[in-house]
Amino acid sequence: MLFLDINDTDFDTRFAAILTRGEETSLQVTEVVRGIIKDIRSSGDDALLEYTNRFDRLGLADAAGLEITSAEIEAAVAAVPADDLAALQLAVERVARFHEKQKQQTWLSTEESDILLGQKVTPLNRVGIYVPGGKASYPSSVIMNAVPAKVAGVREIIMVCPTPGNEINPAVLAAAKLAGVDRIFRVGGAQAVAALAYGTASVPKVDKITGPGNIYVATAKQLVFGQVGIDMIAGPSEILVINDGSGNPAHIAADLLSQAEHDELASSILITTNRGFGEKVVAEVERQLAQLSRESIARASWDKFGAVIVAGSVEDAAVFSNRIAPEHLELAVADPFGLLPLIENAGAIFMGHWTPEAAGDYLAGPNHTLPTGGTARFFSPLSVDDFVKKSSIISFSEQGLKRLGNRIVQIAGLEGLEAHARSVRLRLENHG
């Protein structure tokens, strides 16, 4: 863990390791994933079954066993305590309510009497959502990917989730049912991404793949992009907390550890204007680490990619935050709304001392699938927009083309595109 002053002369050098963590995909990983994609494309279900049996230790006899049956889903739902189901249902409802506000409708403009312009909004036909099933299982990931797709009007939602040793958290299947997932396959890794991208006899080809995964999943999404759409390339999780010396150090420590427990490459950073407060947070992190069931993972993350930074002002902290463009940004200050206008780059912004990042992970409403690794400079959270496509509508009347046609011909001439110009000129010359 680094304890730095933002004005230290060697700050950039010492901080570089955190910024570049998980940045490079080894050539070996890329080649392995290329091979898996090639096998799925050429051998379909046979290859998918072989990889699934090998990597997840399943022993399925045929490809029919790759799909989780409706009976299995119902049994899983029955196994989830009623109070837990109620919590998942609340999350589905709140996430749906938030994403409903993002919906856009097809529109037409009649501002010009002789030309009609507009935009047609069409839901994607079929999407695939990837839900991790390795180190942890995430019913919240199901909700955050499936619900906006459902709100957008996607016709079919296909979910893939690895089930190592044929085990899956019943809450994951329950969340899928509550969120409106249509079919679920017990496959994961690069092979699942390839199956969704190219289709097999069992797994239908989709238009877009969303959801986080390990380095093999992320690499596979990158390699199949163009064949299908993807949401983003997700990297290790991260949180940055801006603090002005106010609040409870134990709360801040818990928030930092909420990301550190994800995996060893996660990064948790506090930037505070009060060195003493920062020292108290460090002490609290050490105390709370010992209480975590995932202590080894959280400790590895904190030791290698954790940092406490002392800044001269919250304005300086905001400048630093914009440079980092964090996935999760907490404004743990006395006046978060006063600081908000200075924030330009962040996946999600958590305001004040009573808004822990975990609230956004589960049921606040906004999506928890967020840009990582500085990509919040140009990416946005997963939203309804990710599950629709937009087509421009253009309709010229004869009078409209007569009014603007010569200018179209003129610009086509600037580009030396004679056929473009002729397609307009002929209409202007021959009005019938």
25-55 pLDDT, tens per residue? Answer: 678 899 999 999 999 999 999 999 999 999 9
Please report the pLDDT score of residue 308 as a whole number.
97
**Angle, vertex CA 212, rays to CA 208 and CA 218, nearest 5:** 80
Alpha helices in 262-363 (DSSP H): 275-289, 295-305, 314-324, 336-339, 357-362
Sign of CA dihedral 422, 424, 428, 432: positive
* Residues with active-site annotation: 327-328
- Going by pLDDT thresholds of 50, 70 and 90, the confidence category of residue 76 is very high
3 beta partners: 308
The average confidence (pLDDT) of the chain is: 95
Query: Given a cut of 90, is residue 24 above it in pLDDT?
Result: no
Which is nearest to 173 in space by CA: 304, 79, 289, 63?
79
Confidence class for position 431, pLDDT limits 50, 70, 90: low
- 10 Å CB burial of residue 302 (0-12, 13-18, 19+) is buried
CA 54 to chain CA centroid, Å, is 28
- Judged by phi (left if over 0) then psi (alpha if -120 to 50, else beta), residue 381 lies in beta
23 pLDDT band, cuts 50/70/90, is: low
* Cα–Cα distance measured from residue 175 to residue 337, given in angstroms and rounded to the nearest whole number: 34
- Which DSSP state fits 23? -
- pLDDT score of 22: 66
Q: Three-class SS of residue 253?
A: helix
CB 289 within 8 A of CB 251: no
Evaluate if residue 17 carries a pLDDT over 90.
no
432: pLDDT strictly greater than 60: no
Q: Checking DSSP bridges between strand 267-272 and strand 306-310, what pairing results, if any?
A: parallel
What is the average per-residue pLDDT within 371-388? Answer: 95
Kindly state the tokens that stand for 373: 């690794």
Farthest CA pair distance, the chain: 84
Between the CA atoms of 92, 94, 95 and 96, what dihedral angle is there, to the nearest 10 degrees?
80
Give residue-wise pLDDT tens across range 145-176.
Answer: 999 999 999 999 999 999 998 889 999 999 99
Residue 291 has pLDDT above 90, yes or no: yes
Q: Are 239 and 330 in contact (CB under 8 A)?
A: yes
Instruction: Fill in the DSSP letter of residue 28.
Output: H
What are the tens digits of pLDDT across the range 277-290? 999 999 999 999 99
The tokens describing 84, both together, are: 């837990």
**CA quadruple 69, 147, 357, 306: dihedral, nearest 10:** 60
What pLDDT is recorded for position 394?
Answer: 98
